[in-house]
């Protein structure tokens, strides 16, 4: 939160209200970046089903 900069929640200038620092799951708590609201898991997986290579890549031009 930086008063006078652009607000991250609303289309306005930051007024210093502190709403951006409040936990989404517990409004009585300041956010500590625990990630629980994002459902972050240690075993997250990204499936890669195709790799597209640039034809010119690796030709040493």
Q: Tell me the average pLDDT across 24-49.
A: 83
Question: Given a cut of 80, is residue 32 above it in pLDDT?
Answer: yes
pLDDT tens-digit profile of 6-20?
A: 998 999 999 999 999
Question: Given a cut of 90, is residue 35 above it in pLDDT?
Answer: no
Q: Report whether 26 contacts 13 (CB < 8 A).
A: no
In angstroms, rounded to a whole number, what is the distance separating the alpha carbons of residues 34 and 8?
A: 19
- Looking only at Cα atoms, what is the longest distance across the chain? 60
Length of the chain: 61
DSSP helix/strand/coil, 21: helix
Question: Given a cut of 60, is residue 61 above it in pLDDT?
Answer: no
């Amino acid at each position: 939160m930086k008063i006078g900069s652009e607000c991250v929640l609303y289309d306005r200038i930051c007024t210093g209200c502190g709403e951006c620092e409040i936990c989404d799951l517990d409004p009585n708590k300041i956010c500590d970046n625990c990630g629980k609201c994002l459902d972050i898991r240690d075993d997250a997986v990204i499936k890669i089903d195709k790799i597209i290579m640039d034809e010119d890549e690796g030709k040493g031009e």
